Amino acid sequence: MPGYTKTRLDLKNLPNWLTFLKEDLNLKALGLSVARLPAGKGYTIMHQHEEQEEVYMVLSGRGIIHIDGEDISLREGDFVNVVPESKRALKAADDSDLIFICAGAVSTGKYPKNAKSRALIDDGIPDYDNVPPWYEGNKKIAEINKRLKHEREARKE
């Protein structure tokens, strides 16, 4: 069994207006869905969460996200983080479909392990000795990785 799961969606012709990817990607720790709101259409209810933080990532189109009484305009390339207790709903502009990804997660309290980490879940395990095929034999990348490995090992001491 491979160490990954892949799926493909036709973003212009999603099977439902909201497509959850839990089963398609065999997700265990991340809520992930893709939505396509037709022009002029939007959520029919406001919603919030008990614990789940959500990030909305606009892939194409324009619209608004209504959060706690405020309308925030959305366009391609926008990212919006919404805390669990805030009430929210989205709507496509009257002349534009709105296609976005919604990712949600809950804090386990275990991360970040390092307060200075740029990542929220800083459990990455770098393998500086193993480069991807497109960098095999590249001496510059090998030197960079050697330096990074040395710096990481020095921080552990």
* 3-class DSSP state of 2: coil
- Provide CATH 2.60.120.10 ranges for the chain: 18-105
Task: For 93-135, write each residue's pLDDT tens digit.
Answer: 999 999 999 999 887 777 778 888 776 677 777 898 988 888 9
> Domain 18-105 carries which CATH code?
2.60.120.10
pLDDT at res. 112: 78
Give the DSSP per-residue string, 26-49.
T-SS-EEEEEEEPTT-B-SS-B--
Q: What is the pTM of this model?
A: 0.81
Query: How far apart, in whole angstroms, are the C-alpha atoms of residue 87 and residue 105?
Result: 17
Helix (H) / strand (E) element for 144: namely: helix 139-156
Percentage of the chain lying above the pLDDT 90 cut: 64
User: How far is residue 137 from each of residues 133, 140, 149, 150, measured CA to CA in Å?
Assistant: 9, 9, 18, 20
pLDDT at res. 154: 86
